[in-house]
Amino acid sequence: GAVVSQHPSWVICKSGTSVKIECRSLDFQATTMFWYRQFPKQSLMLMATSNEGSKATYEQGVEKDKFLINHASLTLSTLTVTSAHPEDSSFYICSARDQAVEQFFGPGTRLTVL
């Protein structure tokens, strides 16, 4: 199957700083990528849909000014958590869709805000 990577795999930052997470499709072009957040012992929550060359679409309740998404190319989407606070600590997962109906997920990024 197709491979999706994320970088970094984990990050620790101070409260008030911004953190950027990259999501790459390694062997296919992805016009659409998705960002999820997962708190401990909970399921994945869809945050936003990232479309190449256009603005991201955010799910209800997700602050677009806090979670900045850029999909500059067909293989890269970035999620920037701005002015991070401890409550933003979570497991962030991206996924990408190829031409088929399957969706491939990245390995996730563990964010800890001190």
What residues line the site for another protein (CB under 8 A)? 1, 4, 6, 32, 34, 36, 43-46, 49, 91, 93, 95, 97, 101-108, 110
Residues comprising the chain, all counted? 114
Residues 6+ apart with CB under 8 A from 32: 49, 50, 51, 52, 96, 97
| Least distance CB 83 / another protein (angstroms) | 26
The token pair at 2 is 């197709």
Helix (H, G, I), strand (E, B) or coil at 24: strand
| Least distance CB 29 / another protein (angstroms) | 15
H runs (alpha helix) in 40-105? none
Nearer Cβ to another protein (67/104): 104
| Least distance CB 17 / another protein (angstroms) | 24
The token pair at 34 is 């998705």
| Least distance CB 105 / another protein (angstroms) | 4
Nearer Cβ to another protein (78/95): 95
